[in-house]
Amino acid sequence: MSRLEDSSKGALEPLIIRQNLDLISLRQQRQIALWATKTAMMADQVQQNPLLPSHQLRRMRTHRAIPGGTRVWLGSCRERYPTVTSHTVRIDLTGVSTPGTAQPAGFYCPMKIGHLCIYVYFPAADVVIQHPPEFHLSVARIWPRRSSDLPFPPPVQPQNGEAFEAFADELRMSLYLYTHEQAAEHGIKES
């Protein structure tokens, strides 16, 4: 894992310490998503009942494999301080039927490191996820991969750490979760 930390510094550091308009390449997006997923997986493991099974942790360590269904969004905060803030939340999939499961439906881990804001979500069921259009100017999905380089920072950003936490909760509460059948039936595509 220390090798993953070292190899991620080049992609993460500029986004953490400054807010110059830049393009984040697909390679950098994947590196950031790997680092964020690893960090969120560690947060999940300190929960009373971790969501992710141990084989996914091993696959991350040995193959740098992001668990299937994981979503990672990228954003920014105008104020650099506080340097680090994060919190984790269990999410229930309201409106999505998952037959025979009593486990939590997801694990959400937003993180603010300097200017960089990352939002990681591990669903416990295979779902299609959308967020309302008002979030499109604040966050961009970097995992699963986008098809092009990403301009950064986004035009709309929380002002400070407190606003980041409020925004992270708002994003979580506004996620629309659909089964693949529901999405296909209504012509819904992931945002």
Q: What is the DSSP string of 75-131?
A: EE-S---SSEEE--EEE--TT---TT--S-SEEEEEEEETTEEEEEEEESS--EEE-
Question: Could you tell me if residue 116 is inside a domain?
Answer: yes
Q: Would you give the distance in Å from CA 160 to the centre of its chain?
A: 19
Question: Could you tell me if residue 191 is inside a domain?
Answer: no
Question: Could you tell me if residue 39 is inside a domain?
Answer: yes
- The pLDDT assigned to 73 comes to 95
pLDDT digits (tens, 9 = 90+) for 35-65: 999 999 988 888 787 878 888 888 988 998 9
- Which amino acid appears at position 79 of this protein? E
Max Cα distance, the chain (Å) = 48
pTM: 0.88
**Owning domain of residue 108:** 2-186
Question: Could you tell me if residue 149 is inside a domain?
Answer: yes
pLDDT in tens, the chain (191 residues): 678 888 889 899 999 998 888 899 999 999 999 999 999 998 888 878 787 888 888 898 899 899 988 999 999 999 998 888 777 776 665 555 555 544 456 788 999 999 999 999 988 777 888 888 899 999 999 999 877 889 899 999 999 999 999 999 999 888 887 778 888 888 888 87
Question: Could you tell me if residue 44 is inside a domain?
Answer: yes
Tokens of 29: 């997006």
Domain count, the chain: 1
Question: Could you tell me if residue 46 is inside a domain?
Answer: yes
